[in-house]
Amino acid sequence: MKKRRFWARFRRNRLAMTGLIMVAASFVISLAAPWLAPYDPNHIDLQAVLLPPCAEHWWGTDPLGRDVLSRIIFGSQVSLKVGFVSVGLATLIGLLVGSLAGFYGGWVDYLLMRLVDLMLCFPSFFLILAVIAVLEPSIWNIMVVIGFTSWMGVARLVRAEFLSLREREFVVAARALGASDLRLIFVHLLPNALAPVMVSATLGVAGAILTESALSFLGLGVQPPTPSWGNILTAGKDNIEIAWWLSFFPGLAILLTVMSYNFLGEGIREAVDPRLKD
């Protein structure tokens, strides 16, 4: 019944359905990249340098004659991989920290929340820049660093949910029946605290994609020749006056992807909000 009510609310939201369709399309494009891309994304053709959009190259070519459409299609794999792996890592850390803080309270809550406050004192992007500058730039380092610097919001959400749930009748009854702390946390409390986490995770994917694109744009992210929307934009910056397509198309891909996850996240939030009535 709850799932049916959730889907009914979600389906009424046109922007949320649009976001869901766009997210699904991005998955299909990413998985089918080897078949959808018209050219090898790393194939260099010095006879086709900086060609504008035309019949052979729909989205033009870059300074090395590589097809921009093919590089953007393969770049979607990098963006989705970074988004989901980093957000998955951040969500796991946030769930663990928030669960322990909300369930035990007292000095455990105090210490963990002070750790959260300490992490929030540092601007996340500049902290990521500092760590990536020390480490070797690679997609795995980017995913780990983004994950370890973006779990604080999830931890706060889960802690708040646990504080409101731990004194409910079903939890008191389970404790009276002799349920262990682990069973109370992972069987009784955590499943009932996941709704806001789903929203946070969906919106977090959009933020992770933006962060990866910014790092690649600055040369600290995915390194060439691996295609990434950010490093395609770098070529666009260097040729902005003569090759507008190098900035427009990857920027459009980032815009549509981030917008679709934001629409999806807002739709999930409205569908699970208990204050909304059918």
Q: At which residue do the structure tokens 């929203």 appear?
A: 199
123-165 pLDDT, tens digit each: 777 878 787 778 777 788 888 888 988 899 999 999 998 988 8
Query: pLDDT value at position 275?
Result: 56
Flag whether 276 is in a domain.
no
Does residue 262 carry a pLDDT above 70?
A: yes
Over pLDDT 70: what percentage of the chain?
97
Give SS3 for 220: coil
Average pLDDT over residues 1-27: 85
Does residue 276 carry a pLDDT above 60?
A: no
Over pLDDT 90: what percentage of the chain?
33
Which domain CATH number covers 108?
1.10.3720.10
Does residue 170 carry a pLDDT above 70?
A: yes
Average pLDDT over residues 20-43: 92
Flag whether 30 is in a domain.
no
Flag whether 146 is in a domain.
yes
pLDDT band at 119 (very low <50, low <70, confident <90, very high): confident
pTM above 0.95, yes or no: no
Query: pLDDT value at position 274?
Result: 53
Work out the mean pLDDT of the chain and round it to a whole number: 87
Q: What is the DSSP letter of 58?
A: T
Flag whether 46 is in a domain.
no
Give SS3 for 121: coil
Flag whether 153 is in a domain.
yes
Average pLDDT over residues 249-278: 83
For residue 7, the tally of other CB atoms under 10 A from its CB is 11
Question: Cα–Cα distance between 141 and 145 in angstroms, integer?
Answer: 6
- Dihedral pair phi/psi, residue 168, rounded to 5°: -70, 160
Query: pLDDT value at position 68?
Result: 93
User: What's the structural domain count of the chain?
Assistant: 1
The pair of structure tokens assigned to 57 is: 């190259």
Flag whether 31 is in a domain.
no
Whole domain around residue 176: which residue ranges?
59-261
**Among 95, 195, 92, which Cα is nearest to 143's?**
92
* Helix 195-217 and helix 139-148, axial crossing angle in degrees, nearest 10: 140
Flag whether 187 is in a domain.
yes
Going along the chain, which residue ranges are E strands?
Answer: none
Does residue 1 carry a pLDDT above 60?
A: no
Query: pLDDT value at position 278?
Result: 47
46-98 pLDDT, tens digit each: 888 888 999 899 999 998 899 999 999 999 998 888 889 999 999 999 999 99
Query: pLDDT value at position 58?
Result: 92
Of the two residues 168 and 94, the one the predictor is more confident about is 94
CA geometry: angle 256, 260, 261, nearest 5 deg:
125
Average pLDDT over residues 217-239: 83
Flag whether 275 is in a domain.
no
